């Protein structure tokens, strides 16, 4: 499958949006609209020249297939390319060993460009095969396309850097990775540590079934990731079980309580759990056990209500089993609310770039995958989807108006 064609199209759209933002200040003073259009065309041609390089990066990240917080080789490889091309690397940001930033340039605007780099447990798969065929059975793998986003970002910003240097266009570019995104394990910490404090705009890249963007409420859920730990007393399960206080009993009662609670929640909620620790062996009453929950909803108040309800049910389970309960928030993220000026600028560039011209082999593989998954067999899209205009609206009291700071005291709304 000629994946590089699709990657090139996505990279072009991302790049042109970034270029439009970076050149905002300069174009108002020195660059005419005709010149800006010419630079965009040049940037697209430059990206087309880098298809092989982009595909090599995509394949390398795919080959590493590293889980969240374990993206050691992935980060080493990507930062090595960026450092070689003049970017200043800061490693271990926000106290996360595999997290980093790569900066180049100076002055305003300050544009942050990001994409996730972690993979999924037990998703190992041979590329280009339309049925389940793992490279290594049971190993992790890139089942959500996190091997593609950062490589195309790198292709885009290297082309942009070249033009900015030649044309003396001011601006700062910062590339950053979504580490442990599947666990919501990094982005909130980046924000708290101030890495986005002076950022004027953030462009984020993720794979999808078409090439589009949106503004307003994005329609996705926010989430809190929480692990509940129960501690009781161990005892021999046959000799003296009455002396034991089972952490596993508490876990099971919490899950039972939560599942009964589902009937009384709104249908937009999504909640799921796994038991990472359920004891050691059956003949010992488990003194310790834990259950890991994801609580998902469409708004911050609803997410927090689920979170608090979960704590109440966990406390009740601990009382019923005479165990002690503690909990840890492992990650959190709130529903997206996206910027209209950026989305509109991005979509104009998406229309200019267009979708790739898929080959017969591309369509054959896509249709085979769709058939294998039981999805409608439609092949790859031939037309762009439209710009999503706040498809999912929050109640008026909950709406947050997003603003894009261009310079101190000046905002695009």
* Domain residue limits, the chain: 3-219+336-412, 222-333
Q: pTM for the full model? A: 0.86
Residues 89-106 as b/e (b if ≥16 CB within 10 A, e otherwise) read eeeebbebebbbbbbbbe
Class of domain 3-219+336-412: alpha beta
- In whole angstroms, what is the distance from residue 168 CA to residue 164 CA? 5
Maximum Cα interatomic distance, the chain, rounded to a whole number of Å: 86
Q: What's the pLDDT score for residue 5?
A: 56
Q: What's the pLDDT score for residue 211?
A: 85
Cβ contacts of residue 363 below 8 Å, gap of 6+? 379, 380
Q: What's the pLDDT score for residue 179?
A: 97
Residue 128 falls in which region: left (phi positive, over 0), alpha (psi -120 to 50) or beta: left
Place of tokens 């540590």: 193
- Comparing C-alpha atoms, which of 320, 387, 377, 321 is closest to residue 349? 387
Cβ-contact 15, 156 below 8 angstroms: yes
Q: What's the pLDDT score for residue 220?
A: 84
Q: What's the pLDDT score for residue 379?
A: 95
- With 0-12 / 13-18 / 19 or more C-beta atoms within 10 angstroms meaning exposed / middle / buried, residue 229 is buried
413 residues of the chain, pLDDT tens digit each: 445 555 566 556 556 555 555 555 454 456 788 888 898 889 889 998 999 999 999 999 999 999 999 999 999 999 999 999 999 999 999 999 999 999 999 999 999 999 999 999 999 999 999 999 999 999 999 999 999 999 999 999 999 999 999 999 999 999 999 999 999 999 999 999 999 999 999 999 998 888 888 898 877 899 999 999 999 999 999 999 999 999 999 999 999 999 999 999 999 999 999 999 999 999 999 999 999 999 999 999 999 999 999 999 999 999 999 999 999 999 999 888 899 998 898 888 888 888 888 999 999 999 999 999 999 999 999 898 888 765 444 333 333 332 233 332 222 22
- In whole angstroms, what is the distance from residue 298 CA to residue 287 CA? 37
- CATH entry 3.30.499.10 includes domain 222-333: no
Cβ contacts of residue 391 below 8 Å, gap of 6+? 214, 216, 217, 219
Q: What's the pLDDT score for residue 8?
A: 60
């Amino acid at each position: 499958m000629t994946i590089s064609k699709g990657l090139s199209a996505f990279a072009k759209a991302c790049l042109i949006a970034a270029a439009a933002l970076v050149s905002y200040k300069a174009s108002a003073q020195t660059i005419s609209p005709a010149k800006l259009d010419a630079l965009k065309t040049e940037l697209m041609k430059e990206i087309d020249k880098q298809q092989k390089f982009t595909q090599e990066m995509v394949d390398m990240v795919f080959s590493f297939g590293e889980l969240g917080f374990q993206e050691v080789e992935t980060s080493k490889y990507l930062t090595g390319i960026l450092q070689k091309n003049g970017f200043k690397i800061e490693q271990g940001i926000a106290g996360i060993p595999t997290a980093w930033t790569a900066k180049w340039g100076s002055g305003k605007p300050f544009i942050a460009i990001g994409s996730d780099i972690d993979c999924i447990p037990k998703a190992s798969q041979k590329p280009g095969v339309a049925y389940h065929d793992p490279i290594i059975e049971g190993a992790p793998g890139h089942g959500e396309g996190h091997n593609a986003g950062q490589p195309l970002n790198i292709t885009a910003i290297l082309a942009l850097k070249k033009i900015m240097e030649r044309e003396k266009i001011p601006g700062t570019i910062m590339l950053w990775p979504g580490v442990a995104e599947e666990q919501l394990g990094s982005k909130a910490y980046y924000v708290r540590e101030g890495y986005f404090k002076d950022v004027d705009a953030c462009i984020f890249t993720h794979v999808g079934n078409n090439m589009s963007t949106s503004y307003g409420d994005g329609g996705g859920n926010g989430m809190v990731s929480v692990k509940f730990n129960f501690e009781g007393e161990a005892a021999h399960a046959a000799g003296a079980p009455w002396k034991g206080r089972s952490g596993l009993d508490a876990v099971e009662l919490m899950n039972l309580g939560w599942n009964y609670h589902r009937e009384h929640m709104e249908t937009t909620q999504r909640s799921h759990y796994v038991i990472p620790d359920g004891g050691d062996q059956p003949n010992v009453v488990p003194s310790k056990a834990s259950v890991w929950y994801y609580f998902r909803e469409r708004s911050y108040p609803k997410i927090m209500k689920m979170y608090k309800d979960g704590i109440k049910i966990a406390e009740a389970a601990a009382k019923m089993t005479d165990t002690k309960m503690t909990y840890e928030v492992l990650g959190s993220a709130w529903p997206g609310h996206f910027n209209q000026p950026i989305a509109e600028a991005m979509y104009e560039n998406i229309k200019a770039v267009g979708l790739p011209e898929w080959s017969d082999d591309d369509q054959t593989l896509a249709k085979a995958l769709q058939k294998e998954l039981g999805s409608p067999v439609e092949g790859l899209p031939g037309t762009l989807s439209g710009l999503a205009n706040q498809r999912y609206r929050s109640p008026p009291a909950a709406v947050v108006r997003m603003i894009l700071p261009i310079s101190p005291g000046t905002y695009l709304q």
